[in-house]
Amino acid sequence: MRPDPRSLAHLRPRDAAGAWAVALASAATAGGAGLSLAGPWLAWIAGQLVLAVALLQWFAILHEAGHRTLFASRRANRVAGHVAGVFALIPFHNWARIHARHHRYTGWQDLDATTALLVPRALGAAERVAMNVAWALFLPLFSILYRVQNFWNVPRIARYLPRPEDVRRAWINAALLAAFYVAVVAAAGPWLAARVAGVALLLTLAAQDVILLSQHTHMPRHLSDGETVRPFAPLEQEPFTRSLMLPAWLSWLLLRFDYHELHHMYVRVPGYDLHRIGYRPANAVGWRAWLRGAKRLSGTQFLFGRREDTGFTQ
């Protein structure tokens, strides 16, 4: 039986838990960068692997801070979110607003800014080739487009931001973050920046391709077709969401980001407490089994196809 949300009132954000998550990601980031600069090739390889995991951690921290479930303090969530946004390559204000809409309209593909681009449409030959090659070779095309289109492309996301103040702040956040990146690369030099973070960034984006696309892609969906519709309540969003269950150690490091169905159903519960909910959702699947099945499909089949047609129902 699904727990009543009121029975989970004791699972609330804790400053100590949030501080531990930020400290762990900070230590991993510093350690990975230090190893990458140490000199020997083995140290550099180890540093890139550690830094790739750290960047995944920062993405999970960004996610929790956007929901205000990392810390009990609203200000601490905001500060941590902006810091995490630097490492996640996502402006925090834009993330918080667009991700909130994602939760509101989960299940309505054309109303959710993060899934609207995957509404079935006619694809050009170049698009098909790019998607299929990237999906087959684990090239992180999709996590890059996810960032650019949903959080950096302010003219596009402005249609999803009803308040002019939110649009203004979206421009400011994107501009300041872009200026920060330019300043860092200019100060360090392109070669040093690539040595410290280049491969780690490629690895973490490739991993995020799999994790992010697993959560809602190739799942049941509805289209509003311009009509006014009722958003699905959190407990109604289970059918539209998949949980890609990761190894226990990685799930812990990522604040249970893989417990995605439970996160949608009990959105006020901090990620680091989702494993304490006594319910196994219907669409939880092991990462190996899901990845083998998903990679048998072409990129365009997986992104735009329906499970009724492809037979892939994991």
- Helix ranges, the chain (H): 15-36, 41-67, 74-88, 92-104, 125-137, 141-147, 154-157, 164-188, 190-216, 248-253, 260-265, 287-295, 299-304, 307-310
Residue 70 phi, psi dihedral angles, 5° rounding? -85, -50
- Asked if 140 and 205 count as a contact pair (C-beta separation under 8 A), the reply is yes
72 in a domain, yes or no?
A: no
288 in a domain, yes or no?
A: yes
Matching residue, tokens 């280049």: 198
What is the pLDDT at residue 39? 83
Q: How far apart are CA 111 and CA 101, in angstroms?
A: 8
169 in a domain, yes or no?
A: yes
Reduced to 3 states, what is the DSSP secondary structure of residue 284? strand
Matching residue, tokens 């103040």: 165
- List the beta bridge partners of residue 108: 222
Number of separate domains in the chain: 1
The total number of residues shown for the chain amounts to 314
Per-residue pLDDT of the chain (314 residues), as tens digits, is 899 999 999 999 999 999 999 999 999 999 999 999 998 999 999 999 999 999 999 999 999 999 999 999 999 999 999 999 999 999 999 999 999 999 999 999 999 999 999 998 889 999 999 999 999 999 999 999 999 999 999 999 999 998 999 999 999 999 999 999 999 999 999 999 999 999 999 999 999 999 999 999 999 999 999 999 999 999 999 999 999 999 999 999 999 999 999 999 999 999 999 999 999 999 999 999 999 999 999 999 999 988 888 888 88
**Full residue range of the structural domain in which residue 130 is found:** 100-303
- Asked if 241 and 106 count as a contact pair (C-beta separation under 8 A), the reply is yes
* Residues whose CB is less than 8 angstroms from the CB of residue 18 and which lie 6 or more positions away in sequence, other chains included: 64, 70, 71, 72, 76, 77, 80
Three-state secondary structure readout of 82-121? HHHHHHHCCCHHHHHHHHHHHHHCCCECCCCCCCHHHCCC
264 in a domain, yes or no?
A: yes
21 in a domain, yes or no?
A: no
65 in a domain, yes or no?
A: no
Residue 245 phi, psi dihedral angles, 5° rounding? -75, 120
170 in a domain, yes or no?
A: yes
Q: How far apart are CA 43 and CA 65, in angstroms?
A: 32
9 in a domain, yes or no?
A: no
